[in-house]
Amino acid sequence: MCNIVRQARQLLLIILLGQFVLSCSLDTGTRTKMEHMKIDEKVIEARDPMKVIQPLWLSVSIEDSKDEYEKNLQPFSSHQRAVFAMMWYIYEVDNGGHSQFYSNSTGIVWEDAMNGFELIGLIEGKEIIEESAKRFETRPSFDRTERRIALDKLDKNFDDLDSRFYKLDRAVNITERIADYILKNKAGFYFEGHVEVPVE
């Protein structure tokens, strides 16, 4: 059952990540339009964290600098920011472990993901990210190139932490815990506004 849930979650993430990749290509001449988006009670009560943070998937760039990342996050709440980061972290670690998470542009969210796990009361999740960050000579850089250089110098891999994360997810179903958190903090997730999306 856990494998089916994980596969379904990965499929949904792949679809949403496809939308995100398309939105990242906006500067290359892709036609875009402004689309009205509303995250209300109905969306929140469906218990799908990916749909709840869809405005962030389409608006927040993890491909650029930390400054750009922060600028993109300004319209959103700390709750939305935390869930956005945790969902990126979950997707990447599920897909290729902490090495993939840090080597890809997604590594920019590491600190927000760590804080997010604390926010939802899943302290072991926070501790796993905290331990992964300690394996760098200094804190992991928010710059992808610098992180990759630092990864090449690591003495220890992340296999043990990958295993701890998978075990934790099997034990508590992290996505369900995030959905519980969203339901308990609805006001932090409401959104209504226009988001720039690619024209298909």
What is the per-residue pLDDT across 40-71, written as a single tens digit (0 to 9) for each?
999 999 999 999 999 999 999 999 999 999 99
Q: Which of 124, 100, 103, 104 is nearest to 114 (CA)?
A: 124
Mean pLDDT to the nearest integer, 67-91: 96
Domain annotation for the chain: domains and CATH numbers: 2-198 (1.20.1420)
What is the per-residue pLDDT across 146-190, written as a single tens digit (0 to 9) for each?
999 999 988 789 999 999 999 999 999 999 999 999 999 999 999
pLDDT band at 196 (very low <50, low <70, confident <90, very high): confident
Residues in the chain: 200
Residue 155 DSSP symbol: S
Q: How far apart are alpha carbons 104 and 177 in whole angstroms?
A: 25
Least confident of 28-37, 95-104, 146-155: 28-37
Structure tokens at 116: 């997010």
30: CB partners within 8 A, 6+ apart: 22, 198, 199
Least confident of 99-108, 171-180, 189-198: 189-198
pLDDT band at 33 (very low <50, low <70, confident <90, very high): confident
The residue ranking higher by pLDDT, 112 or 138, is 112
According to DSSP, the β-strands at 191-198 and 32-39 are antiparallel
pTM value?
0.84
Least confident of 15-24, 117-126, 187-196: 15-24
Q: How far apart are alpha carbons 176 and 86 in whole angstroms?
A: 12
